[in-house]
């Protein structure tokens, strides 16, 4: 078995992380877990050995359309990033929006922060709906 993050051969001792890059076993999208060759995020199967690159069941995958609409309508709160598993990004969007609204009574210009974060969410929504963003926070392909 090979690391999906760097392509290095994984140790057979049952460890859950790659010795070369430190990625968790099964995390990443850049390499085939079966043969270690570079993999494209556009393909579901390896071009060299034919192995499935994304081992999650289609029913377990997140919806690209749902995430896109969440981003467009609730982008400033990071709802779509929570849904996709990008927790750090989601917490940042939510925290900036909430803190700027709560402190807006002291400085009116702080209300611009939710607008900027909302524009960020809108852009992410457009990228999701256009099919540019193809994987969730765990590296699994998004379904339509």
The torsion angles phi and psi of 108, rounded to 5 degrees, stand at -65, -30
Could you give the angle at the alpha carbon of 17 between the alpha carbons of 14 and 20, nearest 5°? 115
Write the burial class of residue 137 (CB in 10 Å: 0-12 exposed, 13-18 middle, 19+ buried): middle
Per-residue pLDDT tens over the stretch 79-96: 999 999 999 999 999 998
Whether the pLDDT of residue 100 is over 90: the answer is no
Range 11-29 average pLDDT: 79
Q: pLDDT per residue over 30-83, tens digit each?
A: 787 778 788 776 666 677 777 777 655 555 778 999 999 999 999 989 999 999
Inform me whether the pLDDT recorded for 144 exceeds 80. no
């Amino acid at each position: 078995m090979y690391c999906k993050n760097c392509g290095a051969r994984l140790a057979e001792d049952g460890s859950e992380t790659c010795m070369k890059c430190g990625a968790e076993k099964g995390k990443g999208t850049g390499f085939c877990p079966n043969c270690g060759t570079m993999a494209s995020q556009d393909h579901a199967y390896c071009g060299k050995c034919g192995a499935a690159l994304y081992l999650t069941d289609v029913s377990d995958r997140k919806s690209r359309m749902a995430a896109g609409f969440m981003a467009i309508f609730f982008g400033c709160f990071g709802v779509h990033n929570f849904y996709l598993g990008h927790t750090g990004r989601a917490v940042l969007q939510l925290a900036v929006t909430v803190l700027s609204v709560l402190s807006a009574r002291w400085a009116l210009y702080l209300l611009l922060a939710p607008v900027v974060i909302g524009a960020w969410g809108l852009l992410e929504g457009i990228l999701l709906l256009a099919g540019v963003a193809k994987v969730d926070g765990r590296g699994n392909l998004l379904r339509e």
